[in-house]
Amino acid sequence: MKIRSIKAQGGETLVEILAAFAVFLLLMAVMQGAVSFCTNAQGKSKEIRRVNAEICRNFQTAEEAVPTGNVTLRFEASSFTGETGGAVLFEIETALGEKKVPFQDGEGEPKHTIFYLFLPADTNAGEPGGGEP
Amino acid sequence: MFHSVKAKEGASLVMVICIGAFLMAFALSMIYTAGLLLSRSNRRLEQERSYQLARSFSQILDLELKKYNALGDAPEKSFYRYAVHFLEGQYGEYDPDYLDETIFHYTAGEAPEGMDENHYGTIRVALYKEAGEEEEELSGTVSSDAPIEDILTNPIQRYVFTVEVTAETGSASFRYRTEYRQTAIYEVRFTYGDSKRPVVLAGSEWHYDNASGELCNFDSPVQLEYEYLTGLANMKSCSFENAYLEEGEGI
């Protein structure tokens, strides 16, 4: 009876302490991983936002969009969600254009991204620079 | 005593599990928030692409609307022709309580050859009309000896016409709205007297019914009533001008 009482009042065993420590380490590792991921994501997000802002800024000053060809879009009556199923009500002839916008990536390397635009159909499609010199 | 020890051991295990679960949830929420932040940053450029597509297509429609001044000049299936029919036809005027019945949607069908939908997205157009300020000035009176040129060529602004272009690219979409004032010149019908008998001015003389009809024998100047005849058949010209400056159009 006395032995049992001593056991009950005794401290934790070494195994218990080690197990608790392992759990503690595991949780700390998870937390550290999460914090590290957050820090990286925040940095990356900041970089993406900087690049995006630069692209949007450069869009205004970039060279004119280059037409790549004419197409005719045929519009039909549709629901709010875009489900069509009727006669063509009007047609829009337009030129498809591409506008090259330069920017610098995170490492300072010059790069470019392409914006796709609709241009007036009478633009001289297929002849970048506006046609005859 | 033995039971008490066992109960205590169970309680500490529950505490460890609770604290562990809390920390795990906290870590997961941090990762989720960071992921959300990243995806929002990535979407910004997609939104800009959608905005540029919607804006550029709006400009194409703007050119189409301003290219013609009369229905007879516009080819079949042109946007101008459809817009004029839309304004003069039986389509209901915009009502915020009945959006489904007063906003009309159109979607570009199958992408034509050479147009990559991944780049140019899906283009949708929504049209609606609202009464202009001059709705109640479609009739009036004029003296028979007064010049009527101003009445015959008076431009009527019956409707404010709204064109909304939505460009959808991937997960992003952007809606670009432009409002136009429709200005139309209509045929005018002049009538005289309580019987509202039609009168027509031929040269400097008024005639009943038509230009070769009986001459109106007004001893002194009389008041004639006039009325603008709306509708496609009576429209002499129709033009569109922007209701607001370009800067205020994007939404």
Does ipTM come in above 0.90?
no
**Confidence (pLDDT) at A125:** 45
Distances (CA, A) of B106 to A55, A95, B173, B174: 32, 20, 16, 16
**CA A113, CA A57: separation in Å to the nearest integer?**
13
CB B149 within 8 A of CB B202: no
Distances (CA, A) of A56 to A52, A67, A112, B128, B248: 6, 20, 12, 31, 19
Which of A59, A76, A115 has its CB closest to that of B107? A76
**CA B138, CA B17: separation in Å to the nearest integer?**
80
pLDDT mean over B93-113: 89
Do residue A48 and residue A86 come from a single domain?
Answer: no
**CA B78, CA B188: separation in Å to the nearest integer?**
27
**Confidence (pLDDT) at B124:** 93
**Confidence (pLDDT) at B210:** 87
Looking at A46, A61, A76, which one is the last position of a domain? A61
pLDDT at residue B99 is higher than 70: yes
Could you tell me the pLDDT band of residue B101, with boundaries at 50, 70 and 90? confident
Could you tell me the pLDDT band of residue B83, with boundaries at 50, 70 and 90? very high
Ranges of each domain in chain B: 2-248
Do residue A6 and residue A41 come from a single domain?
Answer: yes
Do residue A117 and residue A82 come from a single domain?
Answer: yes
- What residues of chain B, 40 to 79, have a C-beta less than 8 Å from chain A? 40-42, 44-45, 48-49, 52-53, 56-57, 59-61, 63-64, 77-79
Q: Specify the higher pLDDT residue, B1 or A120.
A: A120
CB B47 within 8 A of CB B174: yes
- Chain segment B217-250, per-residue pLDDT in tens: 888 889 999 999 988 889 999 999 998 755 444 4
Nearest-Cα distance to chain A for B244, in Å, is: 22
Contacts of B34 in chain A (CB under 8 A): 37-38, 40-42, 45
pLDDT at residue B133 is higher than 70: no
Q: pLDDT below 70 — which residues of chain A?
A: 1-10, 122-133
| CA end-to-end distance (rounded Å), chain A | 108
**Confidence (pLDDT) at A7:** 55
pLDDT mean over B81-108: 91
**Confidence (pLDDT) at A94:** 93
**Confidence (pLDDT) at B29:** 93
pLDDT at residue B196 is higher than 90: no
**Confidence (pLDDT) at B244:** 75
Looking at A19, A40, A61, which one is the last position of a domain? A61
Token pair for B12? 């500490």
**CA A47, CA A109: separation in Å to the nearest integer?**
14
Do residue A52 and residue A71 come from a single domain?
Answer: no
Sequence-ordered alpha helix ranges (H) in chain B: 2-67, 79-88, 99-102, 117-120, 149-152
pLDDT mean over B16-39: 89
**Confidence (pLDDT) at B40:** 85
- Residue A17 belongs to what domain range? 1-61
Contacts of B28 in chain A (CB under 8 A): 34
Number of folded domains in chain A? 2
Q: Which of B196, B186, B200 is nearest to B229 (CA)?
A: B186
Could you tell me the pLDDT band of residue B18, with boundaries at 50, 70 and 90? confident
pTM of the model: 0.80
**Confidence (pLDDT) at A9:** 60
Do residue A57 and residue A68 come from a single domain?
Answer: no
Contacts of B37 in chain A (CB under 8 A): 41-42, 45
Do residue A18 and residue A69 come from a single domain?
Answer: no
For B37, which residue in chain A has the nearest alpha carbon? A45
Query: How many helices (H) and strands (E) in chain B?
Result: 5, 9
Q: Best interface-test mutation with B: which of A75, A96, A103, A123 has the largest number of B CBs within 10 A? A: A75
Tell me the DSSP string of B190-206. Answer: EEETTTTEEEEEETTEE
Looking at A16, A33, A61, which one is the last position of a domain? A61
pLDDT mean over B165-170: 90
**CA B200, CA B210: separation in Å to the nearest integer?**
6
**Confidence (pLDDT) at A130:** 33
**Confidence (pLDDT) at A127:** 36
Do residue A43 and residue A80 come from a single domain?
Answer: no
Do residue A47 and residue A106 come from a single domain?
Answer: no
